[in-house]
């Protein structure tokens, strides 16, 4: 698909190039209805204005970008450090771009490609549920390093690369461990369970574990995080667990689908007078450093973040150099048994 130009926008709208330019630059000398029509067409086509003549020299650029949705996630800081070191070693520059929860990753990526003359993009975090038509506007290689990133099954896997863990399978393994300890009343703190997301995959893994062992799953113990605040935060784990405690439901274990949620959950349990793990076991997912040093240390399903980051950036440079085609690499996670889990009493 050829790159859309300002001439294409003008032709589709039936106006001159100068009129499109005035709309883009918010010039007062333009009819509001005409401006709205032009901006609607721009959004529909994915056109990104070229604001710099330097973009004509894209082939001379040596830059890649990392787009991060959920930059507060401790996992991402470790990954970014690895990616940055490898990028410098290749004598490339790294553009780090934070994407807000409400922003469209593709729109941000398209603008960066033009403004920074990028050779490639790594997406960290978010829910990549865009159409093939829209993403086809990206003319540089891109990789989903799916620590916290979900890619729609509708996208053609021949058009992109990914590095991930099997969130559903590993979440099933985490829940199975708690079941093997004798727990049956296992509450789950889940993020975005009603939409296609990482949180939903981990929730499905939780249900899979019960089904595999023929044990009924208590749906009243499925607890979704607060919508109004950061979904993956200690505060949300704390508030969601407080609601669980106040409900009066019986439970002997809490599985939080992220370590950061598990730490908040632990604080709520301790404040309510529960002992961990004597009264309630707590488990997480991710393997962040903070969970290792929390008291009690959080049992977790650890993602191999360093190896995933190294593989991601190496694969991107191989694709840029033409040494490899697109690939999809799945890493195994590992159960890290620490202090926060014990046998049901």
Residue 257 class from Cβ within 10 Å (0-12 exposed, 13-18 middle, 19+ buried)? buried
Whole-number Å distance between alpha carbons of 256 and 189: 5
Least confident interval from 49-53, 60-64, 102-106: 49-53
How many C-beta neighbours within 10 Å does residue 270 have?
A: 15
Sheet order of strands, 253-256 included: 222-224, 186-190, 253-256, 281-286, 299-302, 334-336
Give domain status of residue 231, yes or no. yes
Give domain status of residue 15, yes or no. yes
Q: Could you tell me if 37 and 60 lie in one domain?
A: no
- Give me the CATH number covering residue 31: 1.10.260.40
Whole-number Å distance between alpha carbons of 310 and 89: 12
Give domain status of residue 339, yes or no. no
Q: How many CA atoms lie within 13 A of 91 on its CB side?
A: 1
**Would the pLDDT of 206 be above 50?**
yes
Q: Could you tell me if 67 and 30 lie in one domain?
A: no
Give the total number of structural domains in the chain.
Answer: 3
Domain that holds residue 65: 53-165+304-332
Least confident interval from 59-73, 105-119, 286-300: 59-73
pTM of the shown model = 0.78
Least confident interval from 183-187, 224-228, 331-335: 224-228
CB distance 199 to 308 below 8 Å: no
Mean pLDDT value across residues 146-175: 79
299-302 and 334-336 strand pairing: antiparallel
Give domain status of residue 190, yes or no. yes
Give domain status of residue 340, yes or no. no
Q: Could you tell me if 75 and 136 lie in one domain?
A: yes
DSSP-based three-state secondary structure for 301: strand
Phi-psi group of 11: left, alpha or beta (phi > 0 → left; psi -120 to 50 → alpha; rest → beta): alpha
Q: Rounded mean pLDDT of the chain?
A: 86
Q: Could you tell me if 116 and 200 lie in one domain?
A: no
**Would the pLDDT of 57 be above 90?**
no
Q: Could you tell me if 152 and 240 lie in one domain?
A: no
Give domain status of residue 25, yes or no. yes
How many C-beta neighbours within 10 Å does residue 252 have?
A: 20
Q: Could you tell me if 240 and 265 lie in one domain?
A: yes
Q: Could you tell me if 111 and 143 lie in one domain?
A: yes
Give domain status of residue 342, yes or no. no
Least confident interval from 193-197, 202-206, 223-227: 193-197
DSSP-based three-state secondary structure for 113: helix
CB distance 203 to 222 below 8 Å: yes
Q: Could you tell me if 13 and 35 lie in one domain?
A: yes
Q: H or E segment at 58?
A: none
Q: Could you tell me if 128 and 221 lie in one domain?
A: no
CA 332 and chain centroid, separation:
18
**Would the pLDDT of 149 be above 60?**
no
Helix and strand numbers, DSSP H then E, in the chain: 12, 14
Would you state the pLDDT for residue 50? 60
Give domain status of residue 338, yes or no. no
Whole-number Å distance between alpha carbons of 285 and 259: 5
**Would the pLDDT of 53 be above 50?**
no
Q: Is the dihedral of CA 9, 15, 21, 22 positive or negative?
A: negative
* pLDDT-based confidence at residue 63 (cuts at 50, 70, 90): very high
Q: Could you tell me if 194 and 267 lie in one domain?
A: yes
CB distance 221 to 159 below 8 Å: no
DSSP code of residue 47? -
Q: Could you tell me if 224 and 295 lie in one domain?
A: yes
Q: Could you tell me if 232 and 151 lie in one domain?
A: no
- Give me the CATH number covering residue 240: 3.40.50.2300
Would you state the pLDDT for residue 76? 85
């Amino acid at each position: 698909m050829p790159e859309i130009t300002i001439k294409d926008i003008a032709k589709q709208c039936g106006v001159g190039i100068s009129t499109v330019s005035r709309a883009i630059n918010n010039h007062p000398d333009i009819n509001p209805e005409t401006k709205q029509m032009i901006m609607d067409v721009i959004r529909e086509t994915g056109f990104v204005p070229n604001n710099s003549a330097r973009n004509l020299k894209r082939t001379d650029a040596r830059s890649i970008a990392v787009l991060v949705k959920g930059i507060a996630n401790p996992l991402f800081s470790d990954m970014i450090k690895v990616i940055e070191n490898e990028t410098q070693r290749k004598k490339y520059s790294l553009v780090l771009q934070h994407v807000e929860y409400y922003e469209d990753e593709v729109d941000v990526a398209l603008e960066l490609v033009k403004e920074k003359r990028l050779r490639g993009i790594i997406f960290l975090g978010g829910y990549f549920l865009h159409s093939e038509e829209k993403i086809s506007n990206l003319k540089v290689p891109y990789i989903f390093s799916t620590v916290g990133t979900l890619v729609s099954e509708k996208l053609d896997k021949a058009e992109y690369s990914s590095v991930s863990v099997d969130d559903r399978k590993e979440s099933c393994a985490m829940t199975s461990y708690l079941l093997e300890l004798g727990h049956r009343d296992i509450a789950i703190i889940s993020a975005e369970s009603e939409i296609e997301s990482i949180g939903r995959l981990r929730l499905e893994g939780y249900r899979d574990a019960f089904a595999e062992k023929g044990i009924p799953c208590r749906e009243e113990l499925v607890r979704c995080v607060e919508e109004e605040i950061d979904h993956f935060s200690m505060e949300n784990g704390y508030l969601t667990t407080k609601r669980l405690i106040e409900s009066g439901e019986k439970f002997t274990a809490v599985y939080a689908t992220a370590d950061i949620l598990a730490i908040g959950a632990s604080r709520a349990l301790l404040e309510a007078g529960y002992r961990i793990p004597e009264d309630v076991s707590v488990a997480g997912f991710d393997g962040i450093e903070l969970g290792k040093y929390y008291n009690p240390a959080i049992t977790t399903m650890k993602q191999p973040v360093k190896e995933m980051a190294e593989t991601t950036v190496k694969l991107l440079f191989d694709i840029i150099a033409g040494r490899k085609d697109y690939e999809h690499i799945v890493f195994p996670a590992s159960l890290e048994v620490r202090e926060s889990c014990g046998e049901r009493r």
